[in-house]
Structure 1
């Protein structure tokens, strides 16, 4: 008996981007593994790949799924405890039993997964359809259930960690910096000029490092604390400091994506927007909105994502025609248009997706082949890679592979984004049932940036499936790839 996903979708790169963000895996029905975990769970919204960031997906399952066969009783493994669950229970009932046995009230659990108590009550009572897999993963994590099958009733173990990914070694330190709420500024303040130089260097390191997550993990704690301290001061530099702090949060978004702490995704996205509004800077607001749009998209909050993106574009429109603003103002407009295309593709709206892609591509071409927006990687080469993304999302694998043929991957400057591109080509191959080609593209991704594939839910799912059914003659090679990526069959 298996949990069936009749959409064939999986969730997981911002845009590798956040290496950003959820995509179809194959045309065939998959087991529960078809949906890697959310980049985040949306507060107050629907349940929801690196990026989306870099203009890509990061993140949360958006397509309904159904459960196959009947639900049978078995024991729940929860951090050293074993609890029996009765036969024949629906998933909502299983959630309720586990919640009550954990001593957690309905409002508390709902709040921890970004939902209302009324929503959770309706799920538990069967008045709402079964939550998407991304949300089931989040519920399992909050209830400290190590095997997702304990909620779904699947007889076969489905370790949450396989799809939720690993906790990076520096996550605790980054989280501590984000929640350092000291009000008094530090004795020795760094100048805005010095903070700006550190932020520029951090972006450069992030885009050029195969171990980009580890590099950010070492840089972010100090950068976050210093930028937060600078923004709490008074004086002429405060507005500049707020802009820089927003930029630090935009950078942190790439680190917290695909980590088992989805609340941090919403935290940094919301804080970035707040600092942009406080600085009263339309460009900073738009850059922060780009991060929030991805979180909303991966949570399935389509209209909100599109609305925020369009509003941000409208704010910039009066400025982009002026010669005195930098090309980055036009670049973020194109990046937001590409995000709108991505949302439409996730929804399965072919015409709208490509119409917005064409608008974004036109912006990229006007900016020229040498232009690249640092935060989003928006550029001519990345727009070509976005064509692959749309093909995969729309389940037009042939179109995705044809688009990939015309891409010179070396022109994608960002190493994590390039690695994510290879993962998306592997997804297209998987959709066509070509496991050997999928393996080869995953190897290219791993060689390009090991820390992209290691934390990307789509990639981890594909590696797991390859380990179960390896291409002829490649069993050993696939097993080795799985060990390097951190996936055990």
Structure 2
């Protein structure tokens, strides 16, 4: 790289950094370099030739690689990730593998930029859009630059904005926990959920703490720690349900307590406790009836239809395939997110497989894949039923089934 190209490259880096409202120290912390190194890059003194460093710098600035280096082949960003490729949450795991704001701990300061929190609020909304769409590869890419910015904002924004920054960070870790659960990464989901609980408490958001417990329950279930899952869910319900009995209970609180009943139903179903699981489903139905419509408070997607979607899943977990198919009859899930619609079809595929209706099972799984490819290709239950279909079909497996098994890495 010539001296003139280094200077032009440095000016571009500086401009992109200012557009993201980042200081040199903040950008350095995001990419694991020193503020001096960033300063030398921006002044054209330090060349950046290695591909991995270029990509790290682009991620820190929140831009595609080819924006920094036009002669490099374009790398997909979070909005254009190839959803047909295998999902990879390695980047997301790295986000929770350390402390994302160590530089702030050593150099405490207050950031008075008024536009910082509203900008971050929009980015967190985008994170949840990707989560509800089941686009986990895109989600992982989008979280890379966002989490360090949120961690720093929660420590450096003006006191009047700090509570909101903690709230946004809690919501982000909740999304991360949900994604890890759906991709069978229970240990990472546990860490993310625990951080969500802490951030919600720092934000002064008690309902957000209960939502974090909901995410924690699902992490425990994924790890097959059913005793811990039951304890966490039951403890939260015992406290919150008392407040939800009043006619004046806010609908947001009803959504949380109803979701916790569904989480506890899942725990009982995985433990084979049929009566206890159905009891919790009935309690969730009663709460949903009080609400009367589909809602998405705290991104929980709780409402009458989602309760029935969970009832289908619970019946399948209990081996009651006929009951699951009966519940699904006439169920209209079009108002739910792509992730919920895909999950319903996946569970119906499992139900058909239990009844040896392999053609119907394959049809449901293929439809689910069309809606949310990452969910079907990364979900342990989906891969399990695909593998079962392959075993039963043997050499007579259809091209459609064989293709699905290859995409899900579920060849028998």
TM-score, length-scaled by structure 2: 0.70
Is 1:175 aligned with 2:93?
Answer: yes
- Deviation digits for residues 359-415 of structure 1 (CA, Å, limit 9, x no counterpart): 11111121112433352221211111111111111111111111122312324x110
Please report how far the alpha carbon of residue 425 of structure 1 lies from its aligned counterpart in structure 2 after TM superposition.
0.9
State the partner residue of 2:279.
355
Q: Secondary structure at the match of 1:454?
A: helix
Judging changes above 3 Å, is the alpha-carbon distance between structure 1 residues 327 and 342 closer, same or farther for their aligned structure 2 residues? same
Judging changes above 3 Å, is the alpha-carbon distance between structure 1 residues 325 and 204 closer, same or farther for their aligned structure 2 residues? farther
State the partner residue of 1:194.
119
State the partner residue of 2:233.
309
Is 1:433 aligned with 2:356?
Answer: yes
- In structure 2, what is the Cα distance between the partners aligned to 1:438 and 1:387? 18
- The higher-RCO structure (CA 8 Å, 6+ apart) is 1
Is 1:290 aligned with 2:209?
Answer: no
Is 1:456 aligned with 2:379?
Answer: yes
Runs (5+) with no aligned partner, structure 2: 1-84
Please report how far the alpha carbon of residue 271 of structure 1 lies from its aligned counterpart in structure 2 after TM superposition.
0.8
Judging changes above 3 Å, is the alpha-carbon distance between structure 1 residues 188 and 272 closer, same or farther for their aligned structure 2 residues? same
- In structure 1, what is the Cα distance between the partners aligned to 2:249 and 2:395? 56
Q: Is the 8 A contact 1:435 1:471 kept in 2?
A: no
Please report how far the alpha carbon of residue 262 of structure 1 lies from its aligned counterpart in structure 2 after TM superposition.
4.4
State the partner residue of 1:267.
191
Q: Is the 8 A contact 1:195 1:227 kept in 2?
A: yes
Q: Is the 8 A contact 1:231 1:241 kept in 2?
A: yes
State the partner residue of 2:148.
225
TM-score, length-scaled by structure 1: 0.60
Please report how far the alpha carbon of residue 454 of structure 1 lies from its aligned counterpart in structure 2 after TM superposition.
0.6
- In structure 2, what is the Cα distance between the partners aligned to 1:387 and 1:378? 13
Q: Secondary structure at the match of 2:393?
A: coil
Mapping of residues 386-465 of structure 1, within 5 Å? 386-411=310-335, 413-465=336-388
Is 1:467 aligned with 2:390?
Answer: yes
Q: Is the 8 A contact 2:295 2:303 kept in 1?
A: yes
Q: Is the 8 A contact 2:190 2:220 kept in 1?
A: no
- In structure 2, what is the Cα distance between the partners aligned to 1:322 and 1:199? 32
Judging changes above 3 Å, is the alpha-carbon distance between structure 1 residues 400 and 292 closer, same or farther for their aligned structure 2 residues? same
Q: Is the 8 A contact 1:387 1:400 kept in 2?
A: yes
- The structure with the largest alpha-carbon Rg is 2
Please report how far the alpha carbon of residue 278 of structure 1 lies from its aligned counterpart in structure 2 after TM superposition.
2.9
State the partner residue of 1:237.
161
- Deviation digits for residues 121-155 of structure 1 (CA, Å, limit 9, x no counterpart): xxxxxxxxxxxxxxxxxxxxxxxxxxxxxxxxxxx
Q: Secondary structure at the match of 1:257?
A: helix
- In structure 2, what is the Cα distance between the partners aligned to 1:336 and 1:300? 18
Q: Is the 8 A contact 1:426 1:437 kept in 2?
A: yes
Judging changes above 3 Å, is the alpha-carbon distance between structure 1 residues 261 and 427 closer, same or farther for their aligned structure 2 residues? closer
- Deviation digits for residues 246-278 of structure 1 (CA, Å, limit 9, x no counterpart): 111001113323557543222101111122233
Aligned residues: 320
State the partner residue of 2:82.
none
- Deviation digits for residues 17-67 of structure 1 (CA, Å, limit 9, x no counterpart): xxxxxxxxxxxxxxxxxxxxxxxxxxxxxxxxxxxxxxxxxxxxxxxxxxx
- In structure 2, what is the Cα distance between the partners aligned to 1:301 and 1:473? 39
Please report how far the alpha carbon of residue 437 of structure 1 lies from its aligned counterpart in structure 2 after TM superposition.
1.6
Give the one of 235, 246, 252 matched to 1:328.
Answer: 252
Please report how far the alpha carbon of residue 480 of structure 1 lies from its aligned counterpart in structure 2 after TM superposition.
2.0
Q: Is the 8 A contact 1:342 1:353 kept in 2?
A: yes
Please report how far the alpha carbon of residue 188 of structure 1 lies from its aligned counterpart in structure 2 after TM superposition.
8.3
State the partner residue of 1:95.
none
Mapping of residues 152-163 of structure 1, within 5 Å? none
